[in-house]
Amino acid sequence: MKDILYAPWRDEYIAGEKIEGCVFCHISKHDDAKLHILHKDAYCFIVMNKYPYTPGHFMIIPHLHTDKLEALESETWLHMAALAQKCVRLLKEGFGAHGVNIGMNLGQAGGAGIAEHIHMHLVPRFNRDTNFITSIADTRVYSTDFEKIYKKIKDLMPKYL
């Protein structure tokens, strides 16, 4: 007998609105709350990762549509780095993370899921947040409600940025 994992929240992904073109450019141009935007400024925006590695996983993304880090103006890159520094503090002090992974997968060969628009991941980590299911079954368990996490981090943003 096969085990069955039910994931009813994925129904929105399958049946929901399809975005034409670059999903990050779409988010950049809209302020719709259902896009889970945490912050926007002149250089970039911060948005929750819709399919997070751990609870609280979000991304810093430049408004400029490019797949080349080397094409970013230094001012934009430095601004992203400054935001990342503030967001690490937010994740540790405000969200209770024990550590944070920061990373960018550049290009499809570099592992980017959305290779056409660069983005920086901030992944909060917690002591003992990995378990057998990740290594044995190549499956992740998201232990809390996504919307609650979004609201909590969104509420923390003004204090840390």
Domain count, the chain: 1
Tell me the residue range of the domain where 44 lies: 8-160
Query: Does residue 3 form part of some domain?
Result: no
Task: Dump pLDDT digits (tens) for 131-161.
Answer: 555 554 555 555 678 999 999 999 999 999 9
Whether 1 maps to a domain, the answer reads no
Classify residue 119: in a domain, yes or no. yes
Residue 154 lies in a domain: yes
In a domain, 2, yes or no: no
Residue 61 contacts residue 77 (beta carbons within 8 Å): no
Asked whether 85 and 63 are in contact (CB, 8 A), the reply is no
pLDDT digits (tens, 9 = 90+) for 4-24: 655 665 565 555 667 789 999
Identity at 113, one-letter amino acid code: G
- 122 domain residue, yes or no: yes
The pTM of the full predicted model, rounded to 2 decimals, is: 0.84
Enter the tokens of residue 40. Answer: 């926007």
CATH number at residue 104: 3.30.428.10
Count Cβ atoms below 10 Å from residue 90 Cβ, excluding itself: 24
